[in-house]
């Protein structure tokens, strides 16, 4: 069976890209290309590609060893799972609801600093106490 | 957050007008029909909920092709093993967020594998280029003195490693892993036409590189 869309030029392109083995050829063109490849001119084209294929087939890679498989599966049981997408969205919304306190925390910190500065102006505070305060602010920001 | 999928992976993706596939299907339509039948979708879902049997099946199904891909991309078995371990680690971490229908799971696996190979190649690029060319020249000079079979395999590995990365990826996916042209194009995020161009250039270049070694290759074959 021949396909009017399949030509020697296209068969040459196919062999140049995918090699001589028709199993690697584009599925949609395979039948038509195989039919053309069985002609005398078609065989000349595939023969040229076959030489390089024979060379490439010399490059084999050793098989998987059991140690690697075991290691990967051990990682599977040790890895914490990500929550499914819908759950992640729900948790994110919930977190925003509950932990919408962040702006309030900053406001509280600012109020504390202002209060402390006002106190310092009045009474004079030891430097170590100021350091504690700065540390507290850092903890709030980090959190 | 869902697993990020490059634009070309998405259902109906692909660039350019494309050649029609059969009387009715365009590239985009074919991609759509293929992504709906992902044989791994159920396994990934179960792996995401911690099903050990599903994890083992996924490993048995994909470890060998991914390891072969990484080995041929990197030309180094130890590095390839590191890469596939990292790939599966990402699978275990993200399986719960996988959404079937956007891309074949195997397509995503190949893409992640190639990306990790890219990272490693980028880190060693200047050194590797010089070393590969030197190794190839060395084999050309002393090919007859070496064990012929080992030399042929090493010559082919070195030849593959001298290809530009995109061409090497195309050859590894289509020739060695025997991916269909549509899935390979998806993995590489190019059109089928661009994939063919990469393959043709890769094979032409390999033929040129291997020509000086023809005698050794023929000897090994006989």
- How far apart CA A123 and CA B66 sit, in angstroms, is 71
The 10 Å CB-count burial string (b at 16+, else e) for A124-138 is eeeeeeeeebeeebe
Chain B residues 99-128 with CB within 8 Å of chain A = 99
Q: What percentage of residues in chain B have a pLDDT greater than 90? A: 52
Chain A residue with minimal CA distance to B211? A52
Long-range contacts: A33-37, Cβ < 8 Å, 24+? Answer: A33/A6, A35/A1, A35/A2, A35/A3, A35/A6, A36/A2, A36/A6, A36/A7, A36/A8, A36/A11, A37/A11
Please tell me the least confidently modeled range out of A112-116, B12-16, B28-32, B117-121: B12-16
Nearest by CB to residue A84, choosing from B84, B96, B192, is B96
Cα angle: B64, vertex B66, B67; to 5 degrees: 65
**Could you tell me which residue, A14 or A138, shows the higher pLDDT?**
A14
B181 contacts A18? CB cut-off 8 A: yes
The answer to whether B117 touches B74, Cβ cutoff 8 Å, is: yes
Pair of tokens at residue B147: 């064990």
**What would the mean pLDDT of B11-33 be, rounded to a whole number?**
36
Q: Is B85 on the interface with A (CB under 8 A)?
A: yes
Residues of A in contact with B176 (CB under 8 A): 56, 59
A16 contacts B200? CB cut-off 8 A: yes
Q: Is B5 on the interface with A (CB under 8 A)?
A: no
**What would the mean pLDDT of B29-35 be, rounded to a whole number?**
44
Residue A126 has pLDDT above 60, yes or no: no
The 10 Å CB-count burial string (b at 16+, else e) for B134-147 is ebbeebeeebeeee
Q: Is B49 on the interface with A (CB under 8 A)?
A: yes
State the pLDDT confidence band at B59, using cuts at 50, 70 and 90: very high
A17 contacts B217? CB cut-off 8 A: no
A76 contacts B49? CB cut-off 8 A: no
Residue B197 has pLDDT above 90, yes or no: yes
Q: Residue B25's beta-bridge partner residues?
A: B21
Nearest by CB to residue A63, choosing from B64, B157, B178, is B64
Given this model, what pLDDT does residue A34 score?
97
The answer to whether B185 touches B15, Cβ cutoff 8 Å, is: no
Whether complex ipTM tops 0.85: no
Q: For chain A, what is the mean pLDDT?
A: 76
| Residue keyed to tokens 């390839």 | B80
> Which span out of A33-47, A75-89, B146-160, B206-220 was modeled with the highest average pLDDT?
A33-47
Given this model, what pLDDT does residue B157 score?
87
Residues B169-192: tens digit of each pLDDT: 999 999 999 999 999 999 999 999
Pair of tokens at residue A47: 């023969």
How many residue pairs from chains A and B have C-beta atoms closer than 8 A?
127
Q: How far is A21 from chain B (nearest CA, A)?
A: 10
Q: Is B64 on the interface with A (CB under 8 A)?
A: yes
Given this model, what pLDDT does residue A140 score?
33
Cα–Cα separations (whole angstroms), residue A49 to A22, A33, A136 = 11, 14, 73
Q: Check residue B24 and report its DSSP letter.
A: T
Please tell me the least confidently modeled range out of A89-98, B150-159, B184-193: A89-98
């Amino acid at each position: 069976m021949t396909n009017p869309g399949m030509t020697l030029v296209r068969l040459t392109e196919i062999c140049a890209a995918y090699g001589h083995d028709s199993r690697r050829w584009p599925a949609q063109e395979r039948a038509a290309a195989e039919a053309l490849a069985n002609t005398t001119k078609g065989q000349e084209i595939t023969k040229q590609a076959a030489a390089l294929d024979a060379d490439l087939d010399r490059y084999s890679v050793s098989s998987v060893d059991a140690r690697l498989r075991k290691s990967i599966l051990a990682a599977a049981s040790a890895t914490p799972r990500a929550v499914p997408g819908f759950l992640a969205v729900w948790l994110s919304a919930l977190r925003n609801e509950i932990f919408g306190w962040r702006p309030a925390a900053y406001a509280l910190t600012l109020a504390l600093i202002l209060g402390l500065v006002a106190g310092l102006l009045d009474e004079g505070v030891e430097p170590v106490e100021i350091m504690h305060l700065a540390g507290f602010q850092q903890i709030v920001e980090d959190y | 957050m869902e697993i990020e999928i490059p634009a070309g992976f998405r259902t109906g993706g692909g660039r350019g007008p494309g050649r029609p596939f059969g009387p009715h299907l365009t590239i985009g339509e074919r991609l759509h029909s293929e992504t709906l039948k992902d044989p791994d979708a159920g396994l990934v879902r179960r792996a995401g909920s911690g099903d050990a049997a599903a994890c083992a099946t996924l490993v048995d199904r994909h470890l060998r092709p991914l390891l072969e891909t990484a080995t041929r991309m990197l030309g180094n078995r130890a590095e390839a093993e590191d890469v596939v371990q990292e790939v599966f680690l990402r699978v275990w971490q993200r399986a719960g967020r996988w959404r079937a229908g956007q891309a074949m799971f195997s397509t995503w696996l190949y893409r992640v594998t190639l990306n990790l190979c890219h990272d490693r190649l980028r880190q060693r690029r200047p050194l590797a280029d010089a070393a590969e060319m030197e190794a190839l020249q060395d084999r050309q000079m002393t090919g007859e003195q070496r064990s012929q079979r080992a030399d042929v395999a090493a010559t082919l590995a070195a030849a593959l490693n001298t290809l530009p990365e995109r061409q090497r990826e195309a050859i590894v996916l289509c020739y060695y892993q025997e991916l269909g042209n549509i899935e390979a194009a998806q993995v590489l995020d190019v059109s089928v036409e661009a994939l063919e161009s990469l393959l043709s250039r890769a094979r032409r270049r390999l033929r040129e590189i291997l020509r000086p070694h023809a005698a050794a290759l023929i000897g090994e074959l006989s």
